[in-house]
């Protein structure tokens, strides 16, 4: 079986971000591919039980807002995966189990109950995952969905942040069953590579897992832990982190010490929101846009049509900090929408409406253009987005 497609056609993300609900749609274009179209949502670092109002005064509300947002998605996902730190750490075993029980009750409000859970170090490092397993079963496992092989790894139950030789042997045995072109999504809590080891942003033996995955042509690793978007390549393997549900953290080594970023009353929920993504089968390429939590159900909607060789409207004015949804539709053939200055990217198809949700965080005028060749005149297919205070 052959899964090799155009480079643009494996996990391509155009999306919403922040309180990290990451929406992925997998789309196979090959006629002989066993992979079928589907979407899934990634939530990470919910930290249920956290209660510091200086960091997040809505600590009891952000998870519920995200659940409402996921339930309101026009296209409901096939499943939802939580990539760790479901609860906030506590030395009290009774409180730890109480928080896990509360978390499990809250997420019953999700329309989609096909759920997968990974532990984070806040959930599992103090008791080697004992309580987590009582509520959410295994800490590492595999599953297949419509032609894609998912591998959930546990790099948190060991307080030294290792996978361990036993789990690495299990991973090796699982990979030996797969074709080298099989599409693989690896789910972890910590990054497998050394992002910032002195900040505990690494897996001590993660390089061994990467070595086992390197022979495969289509691998993406999705993780949490660092409470922000970070994109990294190890060879052909793409690693993408998700933002957290409770509070953001600073960029690696951007400050002398890793600290929780305090709540900004002038920009509430900054760093928290959703990320919408489109994974497609082939080597990985991501384009990401962000939408804060406060915009759930309240964003401005702008409809944009594309045809040879123009957009309508081709001049768009937005206000900084006000969330917006762009609805894109082609009137003739396949086009693209690419606004590098705002990190926005989507295909525009005549078959369906594409959406980009984001909140502009900087002012200025930013050009967008068609990046899918559509004939003579393609180079003149441009427009501008102006963001004002």
Residue 33: pLDDT above 50? yes
pLDDT-based confidence at residue 19 (cuts at 50, 70, 90):
very low
Residue 241: pLDDT above 50? yes
Residue 260: pLDDT above 50? yes
What six digits make up the tokens of 274?
């959703």
Residue 235: pLDDT above 50? yes
- pLDDT score at 287: 37
Strand order in the sheet with 354-358: 310-312, 300-307, 324-330, 354-358
- Cβ–Cβ under 8 Å, residues 206 and 217: no
The residue that leads in pLDDT, 246 or 375, is 246
pLDDT-based confidence at residue 68 (cuts at 50, 70, 90):
confident
- pLDDT score at 257: 93
Q: Which residue ranges form the domains of the chain, and what is each CATH number?
A: 7-295 (3.60.21.10), 300-388 (2.60.40.420)
> Helix, strand, or coil here: 53?
coil
H runs (alpha helix) in 72-176: 93-106, 121-124, 130-136, 165-175
Q: What is the pTM of this model?
A: 0.71
CA atoms within 13 A on the CB side of 15: 31
Residue 100: pLDDT above 60? yes
- The CA distance from 46 to 209, in Å, is 26
- pLDDT score at 2: 26
């Amino acid at each position: 079986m052959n899964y090799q497609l155009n480079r643009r056609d494996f996990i391509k993300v155009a999306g919403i971000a922040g309180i990290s609900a990451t929406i992925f749609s997998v789309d196979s274009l090959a006629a002989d591919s066993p992979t079928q179209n589907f979407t899934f949502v990634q939530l990470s670092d919910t930290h249920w039980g956290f209660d510091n109002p200086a960091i997040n005064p809505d600590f009891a509300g952000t998870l519920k807002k995200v659940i409402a947002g996921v339930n309101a998605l026009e296209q409901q996902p096939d499943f939802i995966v939580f990539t760790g730190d479901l609860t906030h750490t506590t030395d009290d075993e009774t409180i730890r189990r109480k928080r896990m029980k509360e978390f499990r009750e809250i997420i019953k409000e999700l329309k989609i109950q096909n759920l997968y859970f990974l532990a984070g170090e806040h959930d599992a490092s103090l008791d080697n995952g004992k309580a987590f397993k009582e509520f959410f079963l295994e800490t590492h496992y595999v599953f297949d969905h419509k032609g894609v092989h998912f591998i959930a790894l546990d790099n948190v139950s060991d307080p030294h942040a290792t996978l361990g030789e036993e789990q690495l042997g299990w991973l090796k045995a699982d990979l030996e069953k797969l074709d080298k072109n099989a599409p693989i999504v690896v789910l972890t809590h910590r990054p497998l590579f050394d992002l910032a080891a002195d900040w505990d942003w690494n897996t001590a033996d993660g390089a061994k897992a990467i070595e086992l995955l390197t022979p495969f042509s289509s691998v993406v690793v999705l993780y949490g832990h660092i409470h922000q978007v970070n994109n990294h390549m190890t060879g052909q393997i793409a690693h993408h982190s998700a933002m957290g549900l409770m509070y953001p953290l600073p960029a690696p080594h951007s400050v002398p010490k890793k600290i929780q970023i305090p709540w900004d009353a002038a920009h509430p929920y900054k760093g928290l929101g959703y990320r919408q993504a489109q994974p497609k089968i082939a080597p990985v390429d991501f384009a990401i846009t962000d939408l804060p939590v406060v915009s759930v159900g309240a964003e401005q909607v702008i409809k944009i049509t594309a045809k040879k060789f123009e957009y309508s409207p081709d001049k768009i004015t937005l206000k900084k900090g006000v969330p917006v949804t762009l609805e894109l539709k082609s009137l003739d053939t396949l086009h693209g929408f690419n606004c590098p200055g705002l990190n926005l990217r989507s295909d525009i198809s005549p078959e369906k409406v594409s959406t980009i949700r984001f909140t502009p965080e900087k002012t200025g005028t930013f050009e967008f253009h068609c990046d899918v060749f559509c004939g003579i005149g393609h180079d003149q297919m441009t427009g501008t987005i102006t963001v004002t205070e």
